[in-house]
Amino acid sequence: MTTTPPATLEAFLLIGAMLFCLGIYGALTRRNAVAILISIELMLNAANLNLVAFARFVDHSHISGQPFAIFVITVAAAEAAVGLAIVLCVYRNIRHINVDQINLLKW
């Protein structure tokens, strides 16, 4: 006998979509570099949710997506660490981290 899921797959996917789009909005809108990194974390988590949801609903073994999610978490953590280290470097040089004023690659 099958267990009943808490919600449809579409619902979970929609949550993931919302989180992802919120993450996009945040990455585009925030001035602070750390805030942008926060938004990126949000996006990554949205992807994680998708993975786990698909593991629960679509995957035959019902398990494959979860290790994948573990790896995502791992990588996200590492990336957050390095990214924040870079932000610290930037802050040390120019005393602020407003990305709209960091445009050395401008033409």
Partner 1 sequence: MMSDPAQLAYLIPLLPLLAFVFLVLAGSVKQWVTGDIRLSDHLAHRVSIGAIFISWLLAIAILVDIVGRHGQTYIHSYPWLQLGASGALGSSAGGLQISFGWMVDPLTALMLIVVTTVTLMVQIFSTGYMAGDVRYPRFFAYLSLFGAAMLALVLANSLLELFIAWELVGLTSYLLIGFWFEKPTAKRAAMKAFLVTRIGDVGLFFGMAYLLSLTGTTDFVGLVIGNPETGALPFRSQGWLEAGIVAGPQIMALKGTVGLGLVALLIFAGSVGKSAQFPLHVWLPDAMEGPTPVSALIHAATMVAAGVYLVARMYPIFDLGGPLTALGATFRPLGLVGLTGAITAVMAAYFAFTQFDIKRVLAYSTISQLGYMMIGLGCGGVYAGVHDPSLGFTSGMFHLMTHAFFKGLLFLGSGAIIYACHHEQDMRRMGGLWKLTPITFWCYLTATLALAGLIPGGLFSKDSILEAAFGYNKLIFAAGVLGAFMTAGYMARQLVMVFAGEYSGGHEHGEHEHGDDGHLPHDPPLTMTVPLIILAVLAVVSGFVGIPGSMKIAGFLKYHALSHPEPAEHAMNWTVTSLGYGAALLGMATGLGSYSLQTRAFAFQTARPTALDWFLYQLSYQKGWFDEIYRATLVRGLFLVSDAAAWMDRWIVDGIVNGLGWLTRQLAFLSALVDRFIVDGLVNLVAVVSRGLGKGFRTVQSGQVQTYLLVATLGAILLIWAVAAGQIGAPTP
Partner 2 sequence: MSAAFVILLLITVGAAVFVVTTKNIVHAAVFLGFTLLGLAGLYLLLGAPFVAFAQVMVYVGAVTVLILFAVMLTAQRLMREPRYGSQWRVAAGLAAAVVFGCMFWVINATSWPISPLKQDLSNSSEYLTQFTSGLLGSYLLPFEVASLLLLVALVGAVVLAKEERE
Residues between 68 and 107 with contacts to partner 2, criterion CB under 8 A: 68-71, 73-82, 84-89, 91-92, 96-98, 100
Closest contact distance (angstroms) between CB of 102 and partner 2 is 13
Question: Which DSSP string corresponds to 12-60?
Answer: HHHHHHHHHHHHHHHHHH--BHHHHHHHHHHHHHHHHHHHHHHHHHT-S
Q: Which stretch binds partner 1 (CB under 8 A): 3-11, 47-55, 59-67, 95-103?
A: 95-103
Binding site for partner 1 (CB under 8 A): 24, 27-29, 36, 99-100, 102-107
